[in-house]
Amino acid sequence: MSPQTLLELVVGGISLGGIYALMSLALSLALATTNILNVAHGTFLVMGAALSTFLLKDTGLPWAAGLAALIALCALVGWLFERVCVRPLLGRAPDRALVGSILITFGFALAFEAALGFYWAKFVDPQPTFSLPVTMPPFALFGVSLSGTRLAILAFVGVAVLLFHLFLTRTPMGKMAWAIAQDYDGALVLGINPQAVSVAIFTLGILATALSGLFFILASPLGPHDGLRLTLIAMTVIVIGGVGSLPGVLVGGVLLGLGDVFTAFLVGAVWSPVTYVLVFFVVLLLRPEGLAGIRHG
Amino acid sequence: MLEVNQLSVTYGDLRAVWDVTFRVDAGELVAIVGSNGAGKTTTLRAIHGLIPTAGGEIVFDGRRLTGEPSHRRVREGLALVPEGRRVFPHMSVLENLEIAAFASGARGALRARLDEVFDLFPVLGERHAQLGGTLSGGEQQMLAIARALMARPRLLMLDEPSLGLAPIVVDRLYETIRRLREQGLTMLLVEQYVYGALDLADRAYVLETGRITRGGSGGELLRDDYIRKTYLVV
Amino acid sequence: MTPAARGLGRWRGLIIGTIAAGVLLALPGVLTRDLVTALFFAFTFATLALNYDLLGGFLGYLNLGQGTFFGLGAYAAFILAKELPGIVVRFGLPALAVFAVLAGAITALVAGMVSYPLFRLRGAYFAMATFGLFLLVRQLTLNLDTLTEGSFGIYLPSGDYVGQRLAYTLMLGLAAASLAINSAISRTRLGMAFHAIRESERAASAIGIDPFRTKQVALVISAIPSALAGCLFGMHFGYVDLESVLGIDKTLFPVIMAMLGGTGLVWGPVVGVALLRFIDVGLKNYLTLPVPALLIYGLILMVIGLFKPEGILAGLGKGR
């Protein structure tokens, strides 16, 4: 393997991993603040990918307008999702909330993916694929050439993670969310409104995830049924890194991304989807304390 | 100030609290004592709105609290120091206090409240930059009480503050609670440490397997034979 | 209920069951082929739904990967048939039966082994992990094509498959057995252990129940009839491939059916099966809506989750 290839793989792995980490961060926060696992989380990344493809490529809108529309729509969807699917679950007793949350979010994921695949095939393209082949000039660093696309992805991830961090530590709403994530009851007795936090976290989280979808497809395409698989990836990252741990999620994401890329290179792309599930189960077996830091539903 | 009438709480099919009735008047320190599992924590959590009630009513300052979410009760002046402290482990003492002030709807006067709280608990002032998770049990308890006080509550409820603390620490804690009482703060204290609670309280009730079995002034109950035999280990 | 009344109730169930069984067994003689096939499908899903509910309803662990056992069983049997074609040709159906039993054993073993990592999780994590397992098995089936023929599927030598009447009867038997298993367990100490774990695992282990072992037993028990159903399913149609035995419907419908009918109740999944089959047939033949089927099923799941997670039977107040 030449140094160039190795570097490409590493950069590819880190940028993919960065997206995984960002997506997992949003899920982790949602989980920590509401105790609800959103099975449809990955579906929102696919939604972002689909909307991006549609608004930025297929409609011929100027990209600034398309981007604005994308952000507005995704935030709206996030808000609606919280309102319709999450809010009713917040007040319930734990076991009813659990069953309900799985049914609702899993049902949503299925329905959304089915609708997306069906109607995209019908109205846009019989072979639904979401991709934004934007060519960016390669970047020369220390005499080695790096893909501009990958660097753009890395830049996005870097900025997004930074914004998340600032949100949690500097803004009032973010601080309340961080508080609830650390101790639900402790936060409640202080007067923190869990519903207000839930709205903020889901709206922002889904928006961030959807935008990750946009950057994901700069590098590789996605199909309408990749959502549940992506949720599984996010869960694996959380299992590796721990809930609510920002550095943990980053590390986990990057590890998975690298694993994904190297597996595809070494044994073939068909084996990539297998890696993370295997990693998931292996990590589960190796963590004797179970999942310390994850609160159970 | 607080009236609890025929309060019942169930966990599924299990009735944890049965027709509990008591009251707390302004300026009083009322204690509810009982052994483990008697339903004390359940009662407090129900009053604060953290768990739903299966019957009865809770009246605070003439207002019925039924159905009101927990965070709104805090704004009305009802504060709870929960069992197990529940401080935020990854936030500093100062951040814990700040978010408490913010969450309760306090605008401005943050500095003043911080000063009051550091005056009551000097050790918190010393350790204001330390993370909540690294404090000792006693310090965490102080932080928990301080947090609740940031809301300038009209009624402060304390859930087993002495739990898991060494006797010396408990004594110091109770000193502070005494000080708060002298300052006129109305309090509802729930404890397994029966002697300390009865000694401190103006009035008290005894809770056994979800029912109130006795009530009276702190002194009366301290002299009561049954209580001495059951709860005051001689 | 007084002991007398309870005893009578048990007999009543048995009597009704026997009459129903008799009726059902006679049906292939009077109904059209299509209807018999429809009932065959119903029994298949009934088996899956009942097996699912053992873990999902009784224990409170939602297994979104019940279809894994169905597919594993089917593929295991067919791989054996593929590797040993001579035996199939020579012995015919009895050979297939032996392969089915072996496949069931293999699947039970897999269920036992996969319990170790799976039961480190609870709640929604467990659910997602089981779904991940399902996706993994699907992917492996696709990738290991020297073994599984990948996307082409494995076919039985022509003529050597289970005829309609036999398949119908056997699948009815599997469904009835699953029902009997659930019913029996609900009445024994094992059922009480399940219930205890569902209420509080900590309390359960405090009174001497081994939560892991109990859960593992439940998973293995729930895997076996499903695996056998998978074998039978494949052997009736003469082939297995990714969509027929590892399709998402096999893992999804059992959940919907159990939830719809009443999770945790012995007869709940059966009611759910009837309802869903009704909806499915209605959608396919009468209400040609311009929407994909999975959209409808997803919406159904959401509605159940939002309004009636306990299921219809529970709402009607019927007990076990």
What was the pLDDT predicted at A75?
92
What residue of B is the nearest CA neighbor of A193?
A: B71
Interface contact A75, partner C, CB < 8 A: no
Whether residue A159 has pLDDT greater than 90: yes
Rg (CA), chain A: 19
State the best of C133, C302, C306, C312 to mutate against chain A, taking most chain A CBs within 10 Å: C302
CATH number for the domain whose boundaries are A3-286: 1.10.3470
What was the pLDDT predicted at A204?
92
Mean pLDDT of B64-70: 84
For C231-261, write each residue's pLDDT tens digit: 999 999 888 888 888 988 899 889 888 888 8
User: Which residues of chain A have a CB within 8 Å of the CB of C299?
Assistant: 107, 111
Segment (H or E) for A90: helix A87-90
CA-CA distance, B90 to B96, in Å (whole number)? 9
Alpha carbons within 13 A on the beta-carbon side of A147: 22
Per-residue confidence band for C318, with pLDDT thresholds at 50, 70 and 90: very low
Interface contact A246, partner C, CB < 8 A: no
What was the pLDDT predicted at C7?
57
CA-CA distance, B31 to B44, in Å (whole number)? 12
Mean pLDDT of A72-91: 88
Angle, helices C33-53 vs C3-30, to 10°: value is: 150
Helices (H), chain C: 3-30, 33-53, 66-83, 85-91, 93-118, 123-143, 145-148, 164-187, 189-199, 201-206, 211-237, 242-245, 248-261, 268-285, 293-307, 312-315
Q: Strands, DSSP E only, in A76-225?
A: 139-141, 144-146
User: Which residues of chain C have a CB within 8 Å of the CB of A111?
Assistant: 294-299, 301-302
For C121-164, write each residue's pLDDT tens digit: 877 778 878 988 998 898 889 888 888 887 888 888 766 677 78
What residue of A is the nearest CA neighbor of C296?
A: A111
What was the pLDDT predicted at C92?
76
What was the pLDDT predicted at A212?
92
State the best of C120, C122, C195, C300 to mutate against chain A, taking most chain A CBs within 10 Å: C120
> C182 burial class (0-12, 13-18, 19+ CB within 10 angstroms)?
buried
What was the pLDDT predicted at C10?
65
Other beta carbons within 10 angstroms of residue B5's beta carbon come to 14
CA-CA distance, A280 to A241, in Å (whole number)? 11
User: Which residues of chain C have a CB within 8 Å of the CB of A85?
Assistant: 302, 306
What was the pLDDT predicted at A291?
43
Helices (H), chain B: 40-48, 70-76, 93-103, 110-120, 122-126, 137-149, 167-182, 194-200, 218-223, 225-230
> How far B26 CA lies from chain A's nearest CA (Å)?
21
User: Which residues of chain C have a CB within 8 Å of the CB of A284?
Assistant: 117-118, 120-121, 129
> How far A102 CA lies from chain C's nearest CA (Å)?
6
Whether residue C1 has pLDDT greater than 80: no
Tokens of B50: 């953290």
SS3 per-residue string spanning C284-306: HHCCCCCCCHHHHHHHHHHHHHH
Determine whether the interchain pair A183/B75 forms a contact, defined as Cβ–Cβ distance below 8 Å: no
Interface contact B152, partner A, CB < 8 A: no
In the block, residue with structure tokens 């019989």: A126
The per-residue pLDDT of chain B, averaged, comes to: 85
What was the pLDDT predicted at A296?
31
∠ CA B223-B227-B232, rounded to 5°: 90
The neighbouring-strand residues paired with C310 are: none
| 3-class SS of residue B217 | strand
In the block, residue with structure tokens 């949003």: A26
Per-residue confidence band for C309, with pLDDT thresholds at 50, 70 and 90: low
Whether residue A294 has pLDDT greater than 50: no
CA-CA distance, B209 to B36, in Å (whole number)? 9
Task: Judge contact between B133 and B91, C-beta under 8 A.
Answer: no
For C47-105, write each residue's pLDDT tens digit: 999 999 999 888 888 898 999 999 999 999 999 888 888 877 777 788 888 889 999 99
What was the pLDDT predicted at A292?
40
B168-172, C9-13, C280-284: lowest mean pLDDT where?
A: C9-13
For A29-56, write each residue's pLDDT tens digit: 888 888 788 889 999 999 999 988 888 8
Interface contact B11, partner A, CB < 8 A: no
User: Which residues of chain B have a CB within 8 Å of the CB of A188?
Assistant: 50, 70-71
> C50 burial class (0-12, 13-18, 19+ CB within 10 angstroms)?
buried
* Highest-scoring range by mean pLDDT, A3-7, B28-32, C144-148: B28-32
> How far A96 CA lies from chain C's nearest CA (Å)?
7
Tokens of A96: 């009813």
Determine whether the interchain pair C298/A107 forms a contact, defined as Cβ–Cβ distance below 8 Å: yes
Domain ranges of chain A: 3-286
Whether residue A295 has pLDDT greater than 60: no
Q: Which residue has the higher pLDDT, B111 or B187?
A: B187
Mean pLDDT of B198-221: 84
Q: What number of C-beta contacts closer than 8 Å exist between A and C?
A: 144
- Chain A adjacent subunits, 3+ CB pairs under 8 A: B, C
**pTM (predicted TM-score):** 0.82
Per-residue confidence band for A297, with pLDDT thresholds at 50, 70 and 90: very low
Mean pLDDT of B1-17: 78
What was the pLDDT predicted at A244?
64
The per-residue pLDDT of chain A, averaged, comes to: 84
- Chain C adjacent subunits, 3+ CB pairs under 8 A: A
SS3 per-residue string spanning A145-158: EECHHHHHHHHHHH
Mean pLDDT of A278-291: 68
What was the pLDDT predicted at A92?
72
Q: Which residue has the higher pLDDT, C56 or A288?
A: C56
For C171-180, write each residue's pLDDT tens digit: 999 998 999 8
For C20-30, write each residue's pLDDT tens digit: 778 878 777 77
Per-residue confidence band for C319, with pLDDT thresholds at 50, 70 and 90: very low
Mean pLDDT of C303-314: 73
What was the pLDDT predicted at C209?
80
What was the pLDDT predicted at C312?
63
State the best of A189, A199, A243, A295 to mutate against chain B, taking most chain B CBs within 10 Å: A189
CA-CA distance, B186 to A225, in Å (whole number)? 59
Per-residue confidence band for C230, with pLDDT thresholds at 50, 70 and 90: very high
CA-CA distance, A200 to A207, in Å (whole number)? 11
